[in-house]
Amino acid sequence: MNFLTSLHSCDALLDEPHEDTPVSDARPAVPEPVQEAIRTLIRWAGDDPAREGLLDTPARVARAWREYCGGYGEDPSVHLTRQFEEVGGYNEIVLLKDIPFQSHCEHHMAPITGKASIAYLPRNRVVGISKLARVLHGYARRLQIQERLTAQVAQCIWDNLQPLGVAVTIEAQHGCMTGRGVRTPGVGMVTSRMMGTFLDDPRSRKEVLALMGY
Ligand SMILES: [Zn+2]
């Protein structure tokens, strides 16, 4: 099979203009028990939640966490419902490469920052290329482990697009490793999930990994 990478070239892969909802200025109220929990954590860390610089911190932290975990409020598969069947005979790999993302580890609630590459081999149907990134963010904005995040993104594309193959690789740094514990900044963790053609055919796997830069 002759694989080509298509990032932006094919019209059918382009998105309609962004339908992002504008960022709201409205600040949701933060229930007192949530703020108190954060004050408790500040005390536990050794500081005084009553000092001036920390007065508004509990509400800010609470709102930030709603945002970090915004993925709980969405089903990432909705981003894959709009599919294009007119692909002009395009039957090569579609790859979205080096998508930056942030998540949080479920063991320490520490940041996971990295980049993901998502590829699939279409079976007559494609989605707007940025939708792949939206699926990633939908799962990343939860408490995660990198292995599960990788698998969930791949499975979502597999189930909803029913492509011939899916390949997802994620390379990320874990705040719980770089900022605490063994304190090893610069160490990246790589995970991958291959499905269909990319799992069954070593040559296809090698090809897609090479396109991803591995
Ligand atoms: Zn951790």
pLDDT 10s digits, 46-89 = 999 999 999 999 999 999 999 999 999 999 999 999 999 877 77
CB 85 within 8 A of CB 142: no
pTM: predicted TM-score of the whole model, two decimal places: 0.86
Q: Which residues keep their CB under 5 angstroms from ion ligand 1?
A: 105, 107-108, 176
Residue 174 annotated in ligand binding: no
Q: What is the mean pLDDT of the chain?
A: 89
Q: Beta-strand (E) ranges in the chain?
A: 83-84, 94-105, 111-121, 126-127, 143-144, 165-174, 189-196
Centre of ligand 1 from the C-alpha of residue 187, in Å: 14
Q: Could you tell me the strand order of the sheet in which 111-121 lies?
A: 143-144, 94-105, 111-121, 165-174, 189-196
The whole-angstrom separation of Cα 22 and Cα 67 is 14
Cα 161 to ligand 1 centroid, rounded to whole Å = 32
Phi then psi for 78, rounded to 5 degrees? Answer: -60, -25
Structural domains for the chain = 32-68 (no CATH), 83-212 (3.30.1130.10)
Q: Consult the annotation and say whether 69 binds a ligand.
A: no
Cα 160 to ligand 1 centroid, rounded to whole Å = 30
104 annotated ligand binder:
no
- What's the pLDDT score for residue 137? 98
- Quote the ligand 1 centre to 55 CA distance (angstroms): 28
Taking the C-alpha atoms of residue 193 and residue 198, their distance in angstroms, rounded to an integer, is 9
pLDDT at residue 7, rounded to an integer: 39
pLDDT of residue 41: 98
45 half-sphere exposure, CB direction, 13 A CA radius = 10
